Amino acid sequence: MSLRLFAGGLFSLLAFITLSSSVQAAAGIGDLVTCADFKTVYFIAEDGNRYTFPNENIFFSWYPDFDDVKIISCEALSDLTLAGNVVYQPGTTLLKLQSVPTVYAVTPGGVLRAIQSEEQAKNLYGDDWALFVDDLPDAFFTSFEVGEDLAEDELPEGMVLEDEDGTLYRIEDDGTAIEIDDVLDAEDDEALFKGVAEVLEDVESKIKIEITLTFLSDLSNDQILALLERLQTIDVEGELEIEIEIEIEEEDEDVSDDAREELEEAAEEIERAMEKISEREEEGNDVTEAQALLDQAEELYVQAQEAYALEDYDQAEQLAEDAQDYAEDARMGSAINTEDDDEDDEEDANDEDEDTNDEDTNDEDDSGSSDQE
């Protein structure tokens, strides 16, 4: 599903930022919002719902910074339905799951096209193609759809190219390249695309094809408007919410809302656990047990999402609650282990002191006995 991006906006993100809570603002469609109790940043979409970015890399594939984030009350935020996730902007990154070696090109709508070989990756993205690969946790894979493998002589839709004159082009679904320079909204957009653009002539040479170019001067007004809409659309995993609104019975609404809230809380608890484990690991602590608990939490979270998609809301809610429990244990476990180590050290020190005192007492007793004799 795709939703319109309004001026200067993108969808939400589990962002790693600190925002001042001293000012609260009114928010509406097209705004990035958060509240004082959370680090998560959301985007209010055209449908009036909020959407979240699973990680900061997805956020930055669409948006340059957090300057436009508005702080609203947590009550107002909770009134907005959490409808789904945002996926990567096409053409800005390659994607690989942490547990699967396959590398994908991201195309519009969150459709993944597998790259079949390293040679193909080099032909499309250069010798440093691996620098464009982002490892995504398996828990968020359900936000994407896997399409057909990318053919050897095929360019992925959404790929950005730059010719020797510095003009930017975007690959369309028919493999042609359309000029986009003069229709980009702002300098930030142009800088983002130039940062990921491949040299058009190099790609043609390596793949051994001639790319058909379409210039703005060749387009009608309707075609230009259609191009603008494609460039100003953010791809989200939101079909689930629409299906729920259309298909579920009224009596199921409360159940689905409860399950959705538990899923949101589970995602936030997993994020907190990841941060805590990372902190403990940097301090040199053993986080093996905590990481195992976190892995279990992520697996349960994926199962909860799948149950939700199948409209088994009771199962989804239970799995999400279990995921929260495991994530909380993972987060607290890293601290508990450290406290246990400190307590063990303290007990050892106390035992040593007691042994020393006992020895001193025995020495005094022996000395006293000698004097009496």
Cα maximum dimension of the chain: 120
**Does 231 have pLDDT greater than 80?**
no
DSSP 128-154: TGGGGEEEE-GGGGGGSEE-PPPPTT-
The two beta strands, 82-86 and 94-97, are unpaired
Whether 74 and 102 map to the same domain: the answer is no
Q: Identify the pLDDT of residue 173.
A: 92
Whether 110 and 198 map to the same domain: the answer is yes
Q: Which pLDDT tens digit goes with each residue over 317-352?
A: 999 999 999 999 988 875 545 444 445 555 555 555
Per-residue confidence at 2, pLDDT binned at 50, 70, 90? Answer: very low
Q: Identify the pLDDT of residue 127.
A: 92
Instruction: Flag whether 230 is in a domain.
Output: no
Confirm if 95 and 134 have CB atoms less than 8 A apart. Answer: yes
Confirm if 32 and 70 have CB atoms less than 8 A apart. Answer: yes
Residues in Cβ contact with 28 at an 8 Å cutoff, skipping those fewer than 6 apart: 44
Instruction: Flag whether 248 is in a domain.
Output: no
**Does 364 have pLDDT greater than 70?**
no
Any idea which of 178-187, 296-305, 346-355 has the lowest mean pLDDT? 346-355
Whether 193 and 101 map to the same domain: the answer is yes
**Does 154 have pLDDT greater than 90?**
yes
Q: Identify the pLDDT of residue 259.
A: 85
Cβ-based neighbour number of residue 116 at 10 Å: 14
Tell me the whole-structure pTM to 2 decimals. 0.58
Neighbour order of strands in the sheet with 103-107: 133-136, 94-97, 103-107, 111-114, 145-146
Whether 50 and 122 map to the same domain: the answer is no
Residue finishing a domain among 65, 86, 107: 86
Q: Identify the pLDDT of residue 188.
A: 63
Instruction: Flag whether 149 is in a domain.
Output: yes
d(Cα 227, Cα 225) in Å, to the nearest integer? 5
Whether 291 and 307 map to the same domain: the answer is yes
Whether 191 and 294 map to the same domain: the answer is no
Whether 98 and 175 map to the same domain: the answer is yes
State the virtual CA torsion across 227, 84, 46, 15 in degrees, nearest 10. Answer: -90
Confirm if 152 and 116 have CB atoms less than 8 A apart. Answer: yes
Residue with tokens 């790259």: 115
How is residue 338 written in tokens? 């450290």
Per-residue confidence at 235, pLDDT binned at 50, 70, 90? Answer: low
Could you tell me if residue 89 is left (phi over 0), alpha (psi between -120 and 50 degrees) or otherwise beta?
A: beta
Confirm if 270 and 327 have CB atoms less than 8 A apart. Answer: yes
d(Cα 163, Cα 92) in Å, to the nearest integer? 17
Domain total in the chain:
3
Give the amino acid at 183.
V
**Domain hosting residue 22, numbered range:** 2-86
**Does 308 have pLDDT greater than 90?**
no
Instruction: Flag whether 35 is in a domain.
Output: yes
